[in-house]
A and B are shown apart, each in its own frame.
Chain A
Amino acid sequence: MSKMEKEPLFSAKNLKYLTGPFSANNPVIVQILGICSALAVTVQLKPAIVMALSVTVVTAFSNLVMSLLRNGVPARIRIIVQLVVIAALVILVDQVLKAYLYEVSKQLSVYVGLIITNCIVMGRIEAFALANKPWPALLDGIGNGLGYGLILVVVAFFRELLGSGSLLGYPIVPESWYIAEGGFYSNCGLMLFPPMALIIVGCIIWVHRSRNKDLQEK
């Protein structure tokens, strides 16, 4: 931004594409997209972070590729072209995870494959990449991926802390607090079950919308 060029790479407008999805236009809690995978991988913090990064990579590059191709693909067959681009990127991510993070990739199981049908990826291509230049499209992809990751990390933080008493695998709750050691505390096992993820997201929406009144329904 130091040089006043015609359109700087990080102009205010471009920066907004990047930061908008963090809160006001968050893909999970405002656009209600990509919830399927958002909840299942949040039992622990580590898989949630890996999942967030994978989705960010796929959204960013699929947005970039589709934005580059946007004038060459006929509208009638665009869905299948998008699916091929996304599926190819997801296969790449899956192979990289299997090679370097095998344990986490086992935990994520089918949810890596489900990035293909993650509505965020498809939704951002349809809503943004097909009508914009490659650079804003890339920023929009990164922004939405990170906005999705933010929710994942918040949900996983509460589930791991309250459900297992640890964060990233490191114990946080002191050993002597537990009932087995003569203390008063025990982990909330319910947090590890799927329904609690939904309730936590519901509460995040509640807090977020009470602070952003314009998002509330009628």
Chain B
Amino acid sequence: MEMLNIFIRSIFIDNMVFAFFFGMCSYIAVSKSVKTALGLGAAVTFVMVMTVPLNYLLYQFVLKSGALVWAGFPEVNLSFLSFIVFIATIAAFVQLVEMIVEKFSPTLYSQLGIFLPLIAVNCAIMGGSLFMQQKVDAMQLTSVWESVIYGLGSGLGWWLAIVMMAAIREKTTYSHIPAALKGPGIAFIITGLMGIAFMIFSGIQF
């Protein structure tokens, strides 16, 4: 039940885009066609499912105050290093994924080519890890499986948002939008309205 709650919550209620504005830059830039949005969303979800648990383990067993008990340093608190460790994990992981994809599936690589390096600086990924840290401190995430579920849910929420946005933007290509609002202006307003619609999910619990 706890797992299901975390899952539903991270997709709908704490949606990365609508509730926290994470990953807005690529969300606005890449949501012009549904096909590319699907590709980027899949890549972001995958990276998130992997990096959130990795960073969870690093935080739980190395960085947190009192985490180094197993190594004989119960007094050490390295949590001020968490930013640099998280971003290093993410950048290294993205690099690794890029090399693996390039080696084993050149077609997928050429499809995702531009997006893969962009993922390293997608705030949704870093945001996922930072929220994970906050939730660990607040005792809301207590096991590595919950962090996997949290990463998966957050990634899927972002994926859902960018695909919905791309579908709407494809439809608005032929609409009469005031010249000054075309492009990013109307994209922001649509996202805002979608966010208001998503507010109906708040309070869902199992």
Contacts and interface: CB of A to CB of B under 8 A. Distances in A.
B91 A79 contact: yes
Contacts of B180: 205-210, 216
Given A32-B25, A206-B181, A199 B188 contact: yes
A91 interface: yes
B121 interface: yes
Contacts of B19: 194
A91 B83 CA distance: 7
Contact of A218 (B22, B130, B182, B194): B182
Interface string A30-69: 0011111111100000000000000000000000000000
Interface stretch (A82-90, A129-137, A141-149, A157-165): A82-90
A114 B130 contact: yes
B199 interface: yes
5 contacts: A116-B87, A118-B123, A193-B199, A205-B184, A217-B179
Contacts of A40: 20-21
B185 A88 contact: no
Interface in B1-56: 18-25, 28-29
A110 B82 CA distance: 12
B25 A119 contact: yes
B71 interface: no
B44 to A, nearest CB: 13
Given A32-B184, A113-B82, A205-B184, 15 more contacts: A33-B25, A36-B24, A38-B21, A87-B83, A110-B134, A113-B130, A114-B130, A116-B126, A117-B123, A117-B125, A193-B199, A198-B189, A198-B191, A199-B188, A209-B179
A156 interface: no
A95 interface: yes
Nearest to A109: B134
A152 interface: no
Interface residues of A, number: 49
A18 interface: no
A153 interface: no
B195 A198 contact: yes
A205 B182 CA distance: 10
Which residue, A29, A109, A116, has most C-beta atoms of chain B within 10 A?
A116
Given A201-B188, A205-B185, A84 B123 contact: no
A125 to B, nearest CB: 11
A75 interface: no
Nearest to B81: A91
Interface of B: 18-25, 28-29, 80-84, 86-88, 91, 117, 120-123, 125-127, 130-131, 133-134, 178-189, 191-196, 199
Interface in A66-108: 79-80, 83-84, 87-88, 90-91, 94-95
B189 A199 contact: yes
A90 B81 CA distance: 11
A109 B123 CA distance: 14
Contacts of A39: 21, 24
A122 interface: yes
B127 A110 contact: yes
A198 B182 contact: no
Given A79-B91, A199-B189, A110 B130 contact: yes
Nearest to A90: B83
A195 B18 contact: yes
Contact of B196 (A195, A217, A218): A195
Interface in A185-205: 190, 193-199, 201-203, 205
Contacts of B123: 36-37, 114, 117-119
Contacts of A201: 188
A198 B121 CA distance: 21
A196 B88 contact: no
